[in-house]
A and B are shown apart, each in its own frame.
Chain A
Amino acid sequence: MSAVHLGPDDVRDVLRVLDSNGLDELHLELADLTLTVRREGAGWTAEQTVLREPVRVRTSGGPAGRAVDGAGDGRGDRDGSAADVPEGLVPVRPPLLGTFYRAPQPGAPPFVDVGDRVVEDTVVGIVETMKMMTPVHAGVSGAVVEFRTGNGEFADDGAVLLLVDPAGADVA
């Protein structure tokens, strides 16, 4: 691999040259990378960006081998867009983005279902983010009207997980 990425030893060599010449900064632009090294106090910093695009191997065969375009950024596109929340209903959103689960574990009954009544601190689901589980609280009193994000689906920051009808709280 030529100059795709400079390792710690390469960067150290650059620093030695700068140091011996009394220089404080160097900006390098190559076809595949940019590097800025800078003296900061008694130390040095390096800011490196690899510009080289990934070289994809296209394989055929099984589902895992099938090439799919559009890598995406790992965020789901099914975010239950907030635009169409009917008037009078309150959307419940995830405390942070992640995979939404409606039950405490696979096969267990869901925390809540459509028609169930909830109060502010009712747990209506969990989101898994970076292997950590965070409970989702309803945040409002009322009746669950509809789920907008299914079990195991990815929920972005602003996603609507479910809708609650606050008026439903009074219904017996």
Chain B
Amino acid sequence: MRRIHRLLVANRGEIAARVVRTCARLGIESVLAASDADLDSLPARLADRVVRLGPAAASESYLDPDAVVRVATAVLADAVHPGYGFLSENPALARACAAAGVVFVGPAAESLEAVGDKLSARAHAVAAGLPVVPGGEAADLAGARTVAAEVGYPLLVKAVGGGGGRGMKLVGDPADLARTLDLAVSEAAAAFGDPRVYLERFVSSGRHVEVQVLGDGTDAVALGDRDCSVQRRYQKLLEEAPAPLLPDRLRRDMADAALALARHLGYRGLGTVELLVDRERETFYFLEMNARIQVEHPVTELVTGLDLVAEQIAVAEGLPLRIRQEDVVLSGHAVECRINAEDWVHDFRPSPGRVQRVVLPAGDGIRVDTHVQAGSVVPPFYDSLLAKLVVHGADRADALARTRAALRLLRIEGVTTTVPVHEALLADPRFAAGGVDTAFFERFLDAARPVGVR
């Protein structure tokens, strides 16, 4: 057990501000490691102190494990919180932290490796008794044909090193298999430095539902589920908790599956087990496990009343779980809208620049996690997430109504934001009915986009 008194936040944006907030509440001194582009950011103003991590280019700052450990050591930090993205699931950072005697606020390097590679994650899921999408590795064309014969068409060719929708190709016809396989292998080698690919059955109507887990290395608890089916090019736009319209049996089985995997891994930390719910078969399959805090964690916080960053820090300190499964009681429904600096009318073109004014909705059940205020610069080097509007309601209909009202009051001026696309989405009766699949949002966009704009 090691108490954390000073914590280095090795990330940027809203999650940096989010981690700093919990540190302040817990009396932990926060030091933000910022690139040159972020030294004057809102998180830098909120943190107790800020230290330069490196140049604006992420490869030389937020993505450089040596730089992070060097800075952590220089400021005498007890721990490093990696946030999400960047190095959050990088075993090299976890090992370098351990070697430097600094606590990594995340799972053990072995766990990161176990779930970091798609094939390894799949093998662990199978070993833990989780259902997986029918499929298998395709070392060559003959192997691919054998797997394809079992899986059937249409199928997906996925890069072992991919994730988040990257390195994935759809094959509708057996005649296209050879060509797509060649392309997928060469692209995987170029993009991920790993040419291995595998084949998987394509589920035509699937929902993306994930279970939040927290483990202390011995035991684990499930903290409810989230529905993240509203996606564009595999990027989530809106998430909610709990996942609507799931049969009780399915929801229970999914939570049990996530716990089985966490226990099988001896998992210590916060993690998310992503599952694909097959709408037609009313069943689910393991997709992947994310070994970090996620962007959409606040919807879970609002329905459970927990501070997930605080729990994450506690298990990183070596404390046993302080939540028992029977203590996890979900209340109401929560929705998160990701407000990005993008122009949805022009194919979600990025909109970096200087923010002139930030007016946020406030009141009961409303929370906005953001890293911008009047005068903030949104640099072009990183992702476009400006803020997350998170709204809690008594039930789903109430949460959606409150979200609509809150969106009308939210104004981030100076850059173009995705507020209008959320307003349009929340006005859509199919979305309001609940339980849309992952293909819904692209169809919605095709219909909703103003005439004459591509």
Partner-B contacts on A (CB < 8 A): 1, 4-5, 7-8, 11-12, 15, 37, 40-50, 52-57, 59, 61-68, 71-75, 96-99, 105, 129-132, 134, 154
Contact B71 A43 (CB under 8 A): no
* Partner pick for B363 among A12, A61, A65, A154, CB 8 A cutoff: A12
B residues sitting closer than 8 Å to A (CB atoms) are 21, 24, 31, 36-40, 42, 44-54, 56-57, 61, 64, 66-67, 70-71, 74-75, 190, 341-342, 348-350, 352, 354, 357-364, 366-368, 373-375, 377, 379-384, 405-406, 408-409
* CB neighbours of A53 from chain B (8 A): 45
Flag if B363 contacts A96 (CB, 8 Å): no
The one of A43, A54, A74 that contacts B361, using a Cβ cutoff of 8 Å = A43
Closest-CB distance, B335 to chain A (whole angstroms): 15
User: Once the chains are docked, how many angstroms separate the CA of A40 from the CA of B49?
Assistant: 36
Whether A132 contacts B350 by the Cβ 8 Å rule is yes
Given known A-B contacts A74-B56, A99-B381, A44 and B373 have beta carbons under 8 A apart: no
Residues of A within 8 A of B70 (CB): 61-62, 64-65
Do A42 and B377 contact each other (CB < 8 Å), given the known contacts A57-B51, A67-B52?
A: no
Complex Cα distance, B416 from A52, in Å, reads 27
11 residue pairs A–B, Cβ–Cβ below 8 Å: A11-B362, A43-B362, A50-B373, A54-B44, A54-B50, A55-B49, A57-B50, A59-B51, A67-B52, A73-B379, A130-B384
Closest to B190 in A: A105
Minimal beta-carbon separation of A155 from chain B (angstroms): 10
Given known contacts A45-B359, A96-B349, A105-B190, A61 and B74 CB-to-CB distance under 8 angstroms: yes
A4 to B71, CA, bound (A): 25
Q: Which residue of B lies closest to A55 (CB)?
A: B49
CA distance A20 to B401 in the complex (A): 24
Quick check: A49 and B51 within 8 Å, CB to CB?
no
B31: contacting residue among A50, A57, A61, CB under 8 A: A57
Q: A4-B45, A49-B373 are in contact. Are A44 and B75 (CB under 8 A)?
A: no
Q: Verify B46–A37 contact, CB threshold 8 A.
A: no
Q: In the complex, are the beta carbons of A43 and B37 less than 8 A apart?
A: no
Q: B41's closest neighbor in chain A, by CB? A: A54
With beta carbons under 8 angstroms apart, the residue of B51, B342, B406 that contacts A43 is B406
Contact A12 B362 (CB under 8 A): yes
Given known A65-B70, A131-B383, contact A50–B46 (CB-CB < 8 A): yes
- A64:B64 contact, CB within 8 angstroms: yes
Alpha-carbon distance A8/B401, docked complex (angstroms): 20
Among A4, A62, A68, which residue has its beta carbon within 8 angstroms of that of B36?
A68
Among B67, B352, B408, find the residue whose CB has the most chain A CB atoms closer than 10 A.
B352
Q: A12-B364, A45-B360, A50-B42 are in contact. List 13 more A-B contacts (CB 8 A).
A: A43-B409, A45-B361, A64-B52, A64-B70, A65-B71, A67-B52, A72-B36, A74-B38, A74-B377, A74-B379, A99-B381, A130-B381, A132-B350
Instruction: Given A11-B362, A12-B364, A65-B70, verify A56-B379 contact (CB < 8 Å).
Output: no
Beyond A45-B361, A130-B382, whether A68 also contacts B52 by CB under 8 A is yes
Among A40, A71, A130, the residue within 8 A (CB) of B39 is A71
CA distance A75 to B368 in the complex (A): 27
Residues of A within 8 A of B367 (CB): 8
Instruction: Tell me which of A42, A52, A75 has the highest count of chain B C-beta atoms within 10 A of its own C-beta.
Output: A75
Q: Which residues of A have CB within 8 Å of B56?
A: 72, 74, 154
A55 and B75 alpha carbons, distance in the complex (Å): 13
Interface centre among B70, B354, B362, B364 (most CB of A within 10 A): B362
A61 vs B44: C-alpha distance when bound (angstroms)? 22
Q: Which residues of B contact A43 (CB under 8 A)?
A: 361-363, 405-406, 409
Q: How far is the CB of B31 from chain A (nearest CB, A)?
A: 7
Give 6 closest A-B pairs by Cβ, nearest first.
A74-B379, A74-B37, A71-B39, A64-B67, A1-B24, A130-B350
The CA of A12 and the CA of B40, in the complex, are separated in Å by 28
Q: How far is the CA of A12 from the CA of B363 in the complex (A)?
A: 5
Whether A64 lies near B75 (C-beta < 8 A) is no
Pick the contact of A44 from B24, B48, B357, B362 — CB < 8 Å? B362
In the complex the two chains form, what is the Cα distance from A96 to B347 in whole Å?
A: 14
B67 CB contacts on chain A under 8 angstroms: 62, 64
Contacts of B50 in A (CB 8 A): 54-57
When chains A and B are docked, how far (Å) is the Cα of A150 from the Cα of B348?
27
With both beta carbons as reference points, the residue of chain B lying nearest to A71 in the complex is identified as B39
Question: Within the assembled complex, what's the spacing in Å between the Cα atoms of A71 and B52?
Answer: 9
Question: Quick check: B45 and A56 within 8 Å, CB to CB?
Answer: no
* Set of chain B residues within 8 Å of A105, measured between Cβ atoms: 190
Contact A74 B381 (CB under 8 A): yes
